[in-house]
């Protein structure tokens, strides 16, 4: 109960500090401290205690998690929850990579600019990753056959396939891929 009171005091004192509020709400939720205040659910707690909807509470928690992830990069972090929002749909590595790119671009750090930058990066990476139509059916058939052999070998705990054979197949495939790149290069 004492920790709940401390965290609620923190939220009251920092109504404008989305990071601290998100951090406090995350601990209240994860540690189920809202039960000490006789609430059945975290959502009921945030609604009654803070007049805060479920989506807003979770947005603040997610914002805290993004800032926590970005903080080792440097002194500059997003200044408010709306600047953080575009990052919440990215994984931790993407968040850091895109944030570094934003900082090095020198652009003005506004929510609109950050959203445009993140959207452009996501579109660019989606375009780069969708190369499946460039893979030949013969190659896909060969890969599927090899994966089936690996599955069979794993199933029998590598008793009928030696480690040496698996490494040989790995080397052959790697050499074939590199020779194709060299030819096309």
The pLDDT of residue 11 is 78
> End-to-end alpha-carbon separation of the chain, Å?
66
> What is the rounded CA–CA span in Å between residue 172 and residue 61?
48
Give the pTM: 0.59
The pLDDT of residue 149 is 74
Q: Is 37 exposed, middle or buried (0-12, 13-18, 19+ CB in 10 A)?
A: middle
Question: Which of 12, 18, 101 is closest to 66 using CA atoms?
Answer: 18
Per-residue pLDDT tens over the stretch 76-130: 888 888 899 999 988 888 889 899 989 888 888 889 999 999 988 877 666 555 5
> What is the rounded CA–CA span in Å between residue 4 and residue 53?
19
Give the residues of the chain that fall short of pLDDT 50.
none
Read off the tokens for 56.
């807003």
């Amino acid at each position: 109960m004492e920790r709940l009171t401390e965290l609620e005091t923190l939220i009251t004192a920092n109504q404008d500090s989305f990071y601290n509020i998100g951090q406090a709400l995350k601990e209240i939720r994860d540690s189920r401290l809202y039960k000490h205040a006789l609430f059945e659910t975290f959502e009921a707690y945030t609604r009654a205690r803070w007049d805060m909807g479920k989506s807003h509470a979770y947005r603040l928690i997610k914002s805290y998690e993004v800032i926590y992830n970005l903080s080792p990069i440097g002194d500059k972090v997003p200044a408010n929850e709306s600047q953080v929002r575009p990052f919440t749909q990215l994984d931790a590595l993407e968040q850091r990579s895109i944030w570094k790119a934003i900082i090095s671009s020198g652009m003005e750090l506004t929510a609109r600019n950050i959203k445009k930058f993140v959207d452009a990066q996501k579109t660019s990476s989606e375009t780069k990753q969708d190369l499946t139509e460039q893979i030949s059916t013969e190659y896909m058939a060969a890969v599927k056959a090899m994966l089936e052999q690996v599955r069979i070998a794993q199933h029998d705990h590598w008793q009928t396939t030696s480690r040496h054979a698996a490494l040989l197949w790995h080397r052959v495939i790697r050499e074939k891929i590199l020779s194709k790149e060299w030819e096309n290069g």
